[in-house]
Amino acid sequence: MNRTPRKLNRRAVLKGIGGFTLALPLLESLRPRKVRAANESAPPFAVFLRQANGVAAEQNTQEIGMEPERFWPTQLGALTPDTVAGRALDELVEYLDRMLVVRNVNMYNVGSDRLRVQEYW
């Protein structure tokens, strides 16, 4: 260990004071602010749902055989009670005018296990 006292020159002190002066407004912005409750009458503006391993869509598997289509609307375009009748989205009929269903967002040839997925990343 070096026990000799370190001398501060005037230039180093002025640089330190200048840096502190520039950082002071930033430090004031990091203060905790008062918390206000949200307006209870405001509806949520966005809800995102994601199904990790697929949905009740048409598929043929060795374990259970042919599975019928039970998720996607029957036609592309605007969602109506007729296009979602008998589907999983049927329960959300009262919200159809505010819904958007996005499909074909998938990665072909990617396995279901993590090791195979990492090969493609």
Dist. CA 66–CA 56, nearest whole Å: 11
Q: What Å distances lie between residue 11 and 4, 14, 21, 100, CA to CA?
A: 20, 5, 15, 62
Spell out the domain ranges in the chain. Answer: 59-120
How confident is the model over 76-93, as pLDDT tens digits? 889 999 998 988 888 889
Q: What is the pTM of this model?
A: 0.42
Per residue, the 3-state secondary structure of 24-45, as one string, reads: HHHHHHCCCCCCCCCCCCCCCC
Query: Tokens 């501060």 correspond to what residue?
Result: 8
Which parts of the chain fold into alpha helices (H)?
A: 10-29, 114-120
Encode the chain (121 residues) as per-residue pLDDT tens digits.
Answer: 567 777 778 888 888 888 888 887 777 777 777 777 766 776 767 777 766 556 677 777 778 788 777 888 888 889 999 998 988 888 889 988 888 888 776 655 555 555 554 555 4
